[in-house]
Each structure stands twice: as C-alpha cells, then as structure tokens.
Amino acid sequence: MPESVQTSSEHGSSAVQTDSGSPATDFSFALLGEFIRLGVTDIVVSPGSRSQALALAAAEFERVGAVRLHVRIDERSAGFFALGLAVESGMPALVITTSGTAVANLHPAVLEAHHSYVPMILLTADRPDELRGIRANQTTIQPGIYADATRLALDVPAPTGAVGDVPEAARLAELALGAALAPGLPGPVQLNLAFREPLSAAVQLDPSVVGAARAGAATADPAATADVPAHPLIVEPGKRTVVIAGADAGAEAEEIARAGGWPLLAEVSSGARFGPNLVIAYRELLDEPEWGGQIERAIVFGHPTLSRQVPALIQRDGVETIVVSPAGAEHYNPGHSVDHVAERVSVSDAARGDALAREARAWTGRWVMASRQIRDAIDEAENAAPDVAAASSPDYRVRGGFAKSELAALRAPVTRGILVDALWRATWPHDRLVFGASRLIRVADQRVPGKKISVHANRGLAGIDGTIATAVGIAVASQSGDEPLSTGTTRVIVGDLTLLHDVGSLLQVPGESRPRLQIVVGNDGGGTIFDGLEVAASAPASAMDRVLFTPQQVDIAALAQAYGWEYTLATNRSELERALTSPQSGPSILEVPLPR
C-alpha cells in the first residue's frame, strides 16, 4: 500500500520522510524534498534502472506540483538542457542519470558549466561497494569522473534504511546547493549515489504536506550569493585604456567603460554590447597601428573568444592588462602576459574626472567615430541607397525602374551578413537570442550594432555540443512559472553541422511544454568555418572537404517533420524578414540556404 509523506524536523530540516521498505526510495524522497525546500524548481531525468528511485520520486513531486520535471532520453541533451535552465534562471537544475556510460555522457555539459560558471547538480546513480570492481553490468569508476570540473564531488554510500538517512540526505542537499552556487564561482556538483536492491517502491505524496513544507521555507536567491570584495582594484587615470568584454562579461563592463570614458570593445555574446562608448569594428581598428598601437592598458571582463586581435593586443609589449575574474577561477591569460587579476575593479575619482576632460573624450570619440565610418562603408557597399526621388517621379518609367530595383533587392539571396542583421533587428529585450559555435557568431560580432538584449552562447569551451538543448532550456526557463521571465521568443542561430551534432535534442516529450523557440539554420552544406584556416590555401581541396568541411545533404524539412517541428524555408530577404517577424506559437525551424 502506498505510503503518505511526512516531514522531519531533525537538524532544522524539512526533508521529506517516507517508510516504503526501499531505502533507495526513502533516501531519494528525502534528498529531492530537501532540494525543493531549498528552492530548486527543475529536475531533468534520463531514464535508467539504477536511478529509478530518484526518477520516480521526481515524477511524484511533479504530480503534486512541487517541481517541474523534464525527461530527456539522451544524457548529453539532458546536461545541456539543464545548463540552459540555469543560464536563464540562475538556479541549478538537478540532473538524474543511471550508472555507466550515462554518467560519461554528461561530461561535455559539465565542462561547459565549469568553464562558464553555470550551476548544475548531478545525481548519478551507482552500484554499492560490493558490486564495484567485479565487472558488474553498467559499472565503471564514477567517483571523480569529472576530475577538477566540479565544485564538489561526493561518493555517497548506499542508504541502509537507518534513522540517519533522512538527515544525511538533507545535509547533502545543502552542501551540494551551496557548492553549486558558490559566491563568485558557481558551477557543477556531483553526488554519486549508490543504491542497493530493492531499487524502488511505490510512494504517494500528500500535496498539502509538500506544499506547506515548501511554502514555509526560505528559497535560495542566486543573486544573494554574490560576494562583493571590500577592496576592488582601483583603476587610476594616465593611460590610454580600452575595456574588453568577452562572453558573459555582463553589464559591469559597459559601466566601467562609461565611468572611465574608455572605448568598449564588446563581443556579441558579452551582455555588454551597448552604450555610447561601444566600438563595433574593434577588430579592424586593433589591426591598425594608429589605433591598436596607441593602447597602453586593457581591462578585460568575461571570456574573449571571437577574434585573434584581442589576445594579440594583450601579449604586446607595453600594454598593461587587468583581467576581472572570480577568485580561484582559471583566468584569461593569453601568453601568460596578464599583469593583474582582480575579482572586481573600480574607477578612481580622478579617472572619472579625467573622463570628462577634452583629451579623454577625444580618445574615445575617435574610436567610436572610426568604427562608425567602417560600418557605414560596409553598409553602403552591401546596400546601395535607394533613389527615393525616383519613387515619386512624374515619369512612369522612372517609377517602374525604382519598383523593380526594390523588388530585386527583396528577392536577392541571403548572405550571412543579411541573416545576422535581420535576426538582430527581430530580437527585443523580452526575447532571448542564442548563438551556436559557427561562422555566424563571428559575422554578427563584426557587424551588429549596440542593443541591450539577452544573448547567450556556450563560449566556455566554444564547442558545438548541446547548442539546441541549451537553447531549449533557456526557452523553457524564461517562459515557465507563475511569473515567466520572458513573454517573447527564444531564437537560436546555428550552422547546419551544429544542428546535426545535437539533432537528438529536437525530440519533444509528450506532456511537457512546447516553448516559443525558433531554430534558424544557416545551411551552407558543411563546416565552412574551416575554409578560413591558413592551411585551406595549400591543402588538397578533396582532403579539406573530406575531413574538415564534411559536406552534408540532410533534408532539414524532413528532419523537422520527423520530430514534429514547424518548418519554413527562406531563400531571399523578403522571406527571411517575414519568417523572423511572424508570431511564434511553439517550436519551429527556419532554414536559410547560404553560399559556401
């Protein structure tokens, strides 16, 4: 007969307590119940036998409305989906897997979370001690499998059904959540949980008890975990300075640039690509001695990954570099040439005063104006200005010629520049934009103007792993709950190989939400990013195609149909604009053919 839930107040805990006859089940309910009490709202499950107690407990907590449950059959998708949930919400999701290769399949997402400082809690089921080292089925060495990529990794012995299991579960939950949300250094945590048979038993929760336990508890606030150092590094005036904002730098980079009156070189996924000091064409200017050669100091936020010019600048003699990085983190340090690493920087009063002086304003103004001129020249070359007077000419032939030229422009094939420009225009503060690791993020970084919108890219390791899963997680988190963080659309722009690498994440689970998510696929038939390698000019074309470009001929329309996604093809600018601005009601794929 199913047992009803109780709560335990031992050690100040409200962990859920059951008496099912299965220590695995009782421990799982206590552990998940404590995580929920502490504020965890999402659990991601990949099915498996050894983890069945955790999975069934998660399903029961979902049934009573205590948590959101998401099921993914592929652990790699599960891990990156959890990453996306945490990127948007700031809170870690729980990821439940069975033993063996299931645990290894989480490794790419764990590495990305580690390098991007994204919280994540992995509950990996395992065999008990007596079944380890004897070649038992689906058993490998799971403790420490992620090496130094976790903030905390504990190998937890199998519960025995003793009275101490419930408080131990509560203690583990508190430890794991605290480590995942470590001040200044959030990241992944692994609880490797051994279970003996019987691996599960039926338990039915009382919704009122669960609701009361959660309602009466203080939930964790990710913003409250920020530990601001009392003594930031003070930046003084006297040097020609630029502020560099790499991936996930955040708005602080723009604030420092504005306070010091310095040029802001902000990558497209930095979260700082806006403001009066923004320099879009920073690559071109850094290449020029009259601009890049004049820099005496660089202040770096986030993780710059999209240009060769930034690391070259930092390694140049005579450039003082300050990197802003969390304590204990692996900091950005090309050529081991960084002079100072600080958890936080502040602009001195003297530097703030100098920012208003004519010389300082001229320094930044020249950068901004030169960048604008470069961008204007590109725009003029790509988009000839229309003869507006011709539209109202008394000569019908002149008017007809104007109409034909406008129609021809709308019917012109889409280029990468046109694609990223249209996508950037279509994205607003209530939307979310995700870039895959393809040529398109670099094209966007070279051209799109300043705009204060939510942009993400997995640039911790800059791999193409899990891009679709991450975007789905961001979409679900931003559009879920009583007070959704976003009422807009999440768009993810990827190359064709990035889509195919994560195609399993297109699988939709019955009964789960179908977020407003638009995957925009720039399809150039393979990995054209490799065409930019120096070796491409000398290596045999057939070899380059075979092992780097890797051509593909997948029917993306059929792929969308197989997974139940809406599909649209945009072959020209008019079709592209219409597809991007049409209302989205659920998941869809927009394919845009591009030239190699």
412 — alpha (psi -120 to 50), left (phi > 0) or beta? beta
What stretch of H or E contains 349?
Answer: helix 349-354
71-94 pLDDT, tens digit per residue, is: 999 999 999 999 999 999 999 999
Coil vs helix vs strand at 469: helix
> What are the distances in angstroms from CA 466 to CA 73, 86, 112, 494, 525?
14, 14, 10, 11, 20
Q: What is the pLDDT of residue 387?
A: 60
- End-to-end Cα, the chain, rounded Å: 64
Instruction: Identify the CA nearest to 471 among candidates 112, 85, 170.
Output: 85
Compute the distance between CA of residue 443 and CA of residue 504 in angstroms, rounded to an integer. 27
Q: Considering only CA atoms, give the Rg of the chain.
A: 27
Arithmetic mean of pLDDT, 304-325: 95
Residue 522: closest CA among 455, 461, 435: 435
pTM beyond 0.75, yes or no: yes
215-225 residue pLDDT tens? 545 555 555 54
Q: Tell me whether the omega of the peptide bond preceding residue 229 falls within 30 degrees of 0, making it cis.
A: no
Provide the pLDDT confidence category of residue 482 given band limits of 50, 70 and 90.
Answer: low
SS (H, E, C) 559-575: HHHHHCCEEEECCEHHH
Please give the structure tokens belonging to residue 457.
Answer: 């890219």
Cα–Cα–Cα angle for 588, 492, 220, nearest 5°?
Answer: 110
Mean pLDDT for the stretch of residues 405-429: 85
Identify the band that residue 11 occupies on the pLDDT scale cut at 50, 70 and 90: very low
Could you tell me the two tokens for 424? 């950037």
More confidently predicted of 386 and 338: 338
Q: Give, in degrees to the nearest 5, the angle at Cα 162 between 200 and 11.
A: 110
All domains of the chain, ordered by start, with CATH?
A: 6-220 (3.40.50.970), 233-371 (3.40.50.1220), 416-593 (3.40.50.970)
State how far the Cα of 57 lies from the Cα of 203, in Å rounded to an integer: 8
241-245 and 264-266 strand pairing: parallel
Residue 2 has pLDDT above 50, yes or no: no
Is the pLDDT at 13 greater than 60, yes or no?
no
- Residue 523 phi, psi dihedral angles, 5° rounding: -100, 105
Torsion 186-183-189-31 (CA) sign: negative
- Judge whether residue 341 has pLDDT over 90: yes
Give the number of other Cβ atoms within 10 Å of residue 105's Cβ: 17
Q: How far apart are CA 86 and CA 93, in angstroms?
A: 7
What SS3 class is residue 155?
strand
Q: Look at the block and give the residue holding tokens 């606030």.
A: 221
For residue 224 the two structure tokens come to 């409250």
> Given this model, what pLDDT does residue 125 score?
96
In the structure, how many helices (H) and strands (E) does the chain have? 21, 21
pLDDT classification of 48: cutoffs 50, 70, 90: very high
- Give 564-579 pLDDT, tens digit per residue: 999 999 999 999 999 9
Region 87-105: mean pLDDT is 96
Q: What is the pLDDT of residue 83?
A: 98
Q: How confident is residue 386, by pLDDT bands cut at 50, 70 and 90? A: low
Work out whether strand 233-235 and strand 152-156 pair parallel, antiparallel, or are unpaired: unpaired
